[in-house]
Amino acid sequence: MNMKKNLLFVLGTAAILASCSNDETTNSREVIVPKSDVAVSLGAESNIAIEQTRAVVDKWAETPIYVWGLDKAEGADWTTTTSNLFSPASYVPGIVTNTTDNNGTVKLGNDGDLYFYPLSSDVNFSFYACSPAPTNPPSKAPNSVTVSYEVTGNKDILWGEAIAEDITVGNETYSGYNARYFRKEGRKPILKFEHKLTQLIFKGIKGDDSNTAAGDVKEVQIKNITVTTNKWVTLTVAGNKKGTLSASNNEKGEVPAYFGDETYATHGNVTLTSAGAEAGITMLLPAETGSYTANVTLDAIIDGTPQTQPAQIVPITFKDKSGNVLPFEAGKAYTVNLKVFGLRVVALDATLAPWENGGTIDQEVN
């Protein structure tokens, strides 16, 4: 998925499957009986990028995922063994590696692990996945699977699914992934992933001071950027609201901007440029209101010495050309241009006007 980039202009004032029987699923390192001759094989669609420790990459790179194989029948109880391809845990960890055509190959479990579709089962399975590994153990109900994450700013959150296309042979239709489906030349499942966060790309722009009042313009640098947002989110992996990411609670906190793995604390200050200096990237829960609150700290360089200014609260609002506020969307990257005008040395003159009659005030004193 190609991420659409939109421009924002913000003014600073100082100035981003399992071997199993009908009733049991076991890891392939254990005794497996019975099993089918069809091993689980998954792929992942290209044009999705995530890496555990970096905010932005451009290909699959040993990407960790969790995968569920669930009965697609309406009313299926996903807490039962027969409705889970990967029982008893219901999911298996995996890794997506890149191939020469940029599609990802999914490796399930540990080295040497193989997972098989049940030998004699008419359950039709669909696959669901998320990345990275959830912050807490997944929660499973009869008709939903959810996971929780902490929003850190430098870790993307992905959700994916693979739903089988129906195959009709004679008078029979095969409509889900199982051993019989693949014997009828069904296609390999390809997990199609989506980014679930919004990405903000900050640029630090030096304001034009040529038309301002006289005064000494001092160099200004960005010392830190954070965004106030929901810190804990819940992803519905499977169920009626599959693929939905929402706030887990009302707890909010400051999420920093990153330069790869580094925050401003280790990266250092950013000097403003007229073209726009790279000022960090962060990834956040999409703001349906169309607004975030950034906290921008500036350093004024005076006589070669940085003097930190009080943090400024800067609203980031996404508007269309007509001025209508639009929601920030998942899977889209927005460039936020922070335009900062140089601080000026305070210079004052004073004049004294003669006293004038200010009128009479009648005030009762009880």
Q: What is the pLDDT of residues 42-89, one digit of tens each?
A: 778 755 544 333 344 346 778 899 999 999 999 999 999 999 999 778
In this structure, the answer to whether residues 71 and 154 fall within a common structural domain is: yes
Top pLDDT among 189 and 214 is at: 189
Question: Is position 10 within any domain?
Answer: no
Q: Mean pLDDT score of the chain, rounded to an integer?
A: 78
Reading the block at residue 212, the tokens are 């301002």
Mean per-residue pLDDT, 203-225: 73
* Chain CA centroid to CA 161, Å: 17
Q: Percent of the chain at pLDDT above 90?
A: 41
Read off the pLDDT band of 30 (50, 70, 90): very low
Read off the pLDDT band of 342 (50, 70, 90): confident
Question: Is position 101 within any domain?
Answer: yes
CATH label of the domain that carries residue 329: 2.60.40
pLDDT of 71: 95
Reading the block at residue 313, the tokens are 């609260």
pLDDT of 57: 37
In this structure, the answer to whether residues 189 and 290 fall within a common structural domain is: no
Q: Among 98-112, 136-150, 326-340, whose mean pLDDT is lowest?
A: 98-112
Q: What is the CA radius of gyration of the chain?
A: 28
Q: Are 12 and 296 in contact (CB under 8 A)?
A: yes
pLDDT of 285: 97
pLDDT of 147: 97
Mean per-residue pLDDT, 249-268: 94
In what side-by-side order are the strands of the sheet with 333-340? 5-12, 333-340, 198-206, 277-284
Top pLDDT among 155 and 104 is at: 155
Q: Is the pLDDT of residue 7 over 70?
A: no
pLDDT of 48: 52
In this structure, the answer to whether residues 316 and 229 fall within a common structural domain is: yes
pTM: 0.79
pLDDT of 68: 96
Read off the pLDDT band of 207 (50, 70, 90): confident
Q: Is the pLDDT of residue 355 over 80?
A: no
Question: What count of residues does the chain have?
Answer: 366
Question: Which domain covers residue 264, as residue numbers?
Answer: 198-344
Question: Is position 264 within any domain?
Answer: yes
* Chain CA centroid to CA 364, Å: 63
Q: Is the pLDDT of residue 252 over 70?
A: yes
Domain boundary among 166, 195, 224: 195
State how far the Cα of 100 lies from the Cα of 92, in Å rounded to an integer: 25
Question: Is position 247 within any domain?
Answer: yes
Read off the pLDDT band of 365 (50, 70, 90): very low
Q: Percent of the chain at pLDDT above 70?
A: 76
Look-up: residue for tokens 């029987």? 21
**Strand, helix or coil for residue 34:** coil
In this structure, the answer to whether residues 213 and 173 fall within a common structural domain is: no
In this structure, the answer to whether residues 128 and 215 fall within a common structural domain is: no
Mean per-residue pLDDT, 243-247: 97
CA angle 87, 88, 92 (to 5 degrees): 60
State how far the Cα of 287 lies from the Cα of 276, in Å rounded to an integer: 25
* Helix or strand (DSSP H, E) at 182: helix 179-183
Q: Is the pLDDT of residue 17 over 60?
A: no
Annotate 260-272 with DSSP letters as a single string.
TTB-HHHH--EE-
User: Model confidence over 183-202: pLDDT tens digits?
Assistant: 888 888 999 998 999 999 99
Read off the pLDDT band of 6 (50, 70, 90): very low
With CA atoms as reference, report the closest residue to 286 among 222, 321, 235: 235
In this structure, the answer to whether residues 136 and 251 fall within a common structural domain is: no
In this structure, the answer to whether residues 162 and 30 fall within a common structural domain is: yes
Please state the domain count of the chain: 2
Q: Are 174 and 166 in contact (CB under 8 A)?
A: yes
Q: Is 264 left (phi over 0), alpha (psi -120 to 50) or beta?
A: alpha
Exposure b/e, 202-221, CB count within 10 A at least 16 = b: bbbbbbeeeeeeeeeeeebb
Mean per-residue pLDDT, 316-327: 86
Reading the block at residue 33, the tokens are 């009986």
In this structure, the answer to whether residues 185 and 44 fall within a common structural domain is: yes
Question: Is position 358 within any domain?
Answer: no
Mean per-residue pLDDT, 172-193: 89
Domain boundary among 179, 195, 211: 195
